[in-house]
Amino acid sequence: MSKQRPSRRAFLGLAGAAAASSLHPAARAQTTGAIRDLGDTPSDYGRPSPFEDSKRWSRAPDATASSSNTPLADLEGIVTPSGLHFERHHTGVPAIDPDTHRLTIHGLVDRPLVFTMDDLVRMSSVSRFHFIECSGNSAREWSPAGAPNVQLSHGLASCSEWTGVLLADLLDEVGVKAEASWIVAEGADAGLMSRSVPLERALDDVMIAYGQNGEAVRPEQGYPLRLLVPGCEGSISVKWLRRIEVAHMPSMARDETSKYTDLLPDGKARQFTLVMDAKSVITRPSGEQKLDRPGFFEIRGLAWSGRGTISRVEVSTDGGRSWTDAEIEGPRHAKAFTRFRSPWRWDGGRHLLMSRATDDTGYVQPTLAALLEARGRSTIYHNNRIKAWEVRESGEVTNAEA
């Protein structure tokens, strides 16, 4: 496992700025004032400043069955830049020509239909902010030891503005037969990734998305077309969507039986645990950052719930002995990242920082102990425990053992 670099922007110390200025003439100019050299000409597609180094982190960068994590500590607001959205794919990222891509909807329908991308873009559209979280996110957090930084502990979650067609509208076009109760979605990746979705949910707020953050969905997120099942575990939002079969039962696909089921202590496993429960994490100060000196800091973080909106986030700086309400300035969308902030004056001592989210169903984010009590140690998925970071007297921030 590669060592994670601390974010340069967070709590940037003087040492960091000095190192940067020795590397780049523009940086030297910035430290003294205005840049008098003429700058760059316009570009056809802009990129982040060369001084920025936010990167996804992959546990297996050379594998096609792999994933990569979003650097949550580097991000502001609620939107994950498309190029930093986490990835999870089982057979690599396919390159799909939208002109030849088709979505077929068939099965228990009055009239099967094949849609081109042009057909879909012509239809009535919606744009909505939604998070996607892999249900294996925070799997390392089942151990009291936990992960050393927030990219590793929570980075299999991201949030975008998604644009597309409501699946309910497409199902109106084909006419769903009365005996239908599920849909089965299939991707166009090498392994034809497939998941079943209850029809009731499919007719609710499920989208067929072709837009992400104002541009086309990125290849890693399913270009040119993906299913988006808001609030649910990421793997059900089938990417590179090519086929939807309306059916009388779930297909019991490998990824809803062998995987993504939650084994309980009695040997039974929960199945179709689709919803991602309310969760929050402090992104700054967070693991592997360093506070340069005592004084004012804003504790910032993200909260989200697959059941609705975040109604409250509380922050503790004393390991959960006392809690204060964090500010949620907004926006506060359902099933989307919600930003919270809380002012804090660091006295230079040791502190345990924690956050605890409540959603509009009244559900409160649990402790690791509560999750283990309810589920045992073999469930793997759906870990939404309260995470603690330890601020040391040196200013170093580390994972705190639960």
Partner 1 sequence: MPRRSWRPTFALLFVSGVVFAAESERTGLGSEPTAEELGAAGYTVFPDGKGLPAGSGTVSEGRAVYQQFCAACHGRNAEGDEAAALVGGRDSLTSGRPRKTVESYWPYATTLWDYIRRSMPYESPGSLNDDEIYAVVAHLLHLGGVVGEDAVLDQESLPRVEMPNREGFVSDDRPDTD
Distance CA 69, CA 157 (A): 8
- Shortest distance in whole angstroms from residue 382 CB to partner 1: 8
* Separation of alpha carbons 18 and 30, rounded Å: 11
| Sequence-ordered list of residues with C-beta below 8 angstroms from that of 20, at least 6 positions apart, any chain | 8, 27, 51
Between 145 and 252, whose beta carbon lies closer to partner 1? 252
Cβ atoms of 304 and 159 closer than 8 Å = yes
Min CB(317)–partner 1 separation in Å: 24
Q: Which is nearer to partner 1, 12 or 168 (CB)?
A: 168
CB of 172 to partner 1, least distance (A): 6
Alpha-carbon torsion 107, 109, 114, 120, what sign?
negative
Q: Is 97 helix (H, G, I), strand (E, B) or coil?
A: coil
Q: How far is the CB of 56 from partner 1 (least distance, A)?
A: 24
User: 295: which residues sit within 8 A by CB, 6+ positions away?
Assistant: 345, 346
Smallest distance, Å, CB 161 to partner 1? 15
Report yes or no: 254 and 271 within 8 Å, Cβ to Cβ: no
Q: How far is the CB of 170 from partner 1 (least distance, A)?
A: 8
Tokens of 309: 């909106």
Q: How far is the CB of 64 from partner 1 (least distance, A)?
A: 9
Q: Shortest CA distance to 160 belongs to which of 234, 52, 94? A: 234
What is the rounded CA–CA span in Å between residue 227 and residue 36? 49
Nearest CB to partner 1, comparing residues 268 and 350: 268
Number of neighbours of residue 221 by Cβ within 10 angstroms: 25
Q: Which is nearer to partner 1, 271 or 324 (CB)?
A: 271
Encode 94-112: b = buried (16+ Cβ within 10 Å), e = exposed: eebeeeebebebebbbeee
CA distance 161 to 130: 6
Considering the complex, state which of residue 215 and residue 373 has its C-beta at the smaller distance from partner 1.
373
Provide the minimum distance between the beta carbon of 291 and partner 1 in the complex, in angstroms, as a whole number.
Answer: 32
Q: Is the CB of 23 or the CB of 63 nearer to partner 1?
A: 63
Residue indicated by tokens 């994972």: 399
Minimum distance from CB of 253 to partner 1 (Å)? 7
User: Based on CB atoms, which residue is closest to partner 1, 57 or 272?
Assistant: 272
Residues in the chain: 402
The residue among 111 and 321 lying less far from partner 1, judged by its C-beta, is 111
Q: Which is nearer to partner 1, 120 or 282 (CB)?
A: 120
Q: CA-based Rg of the chain, rounded to a whole angstrom?
A: 22
Amino acid at position 316, single letter: S
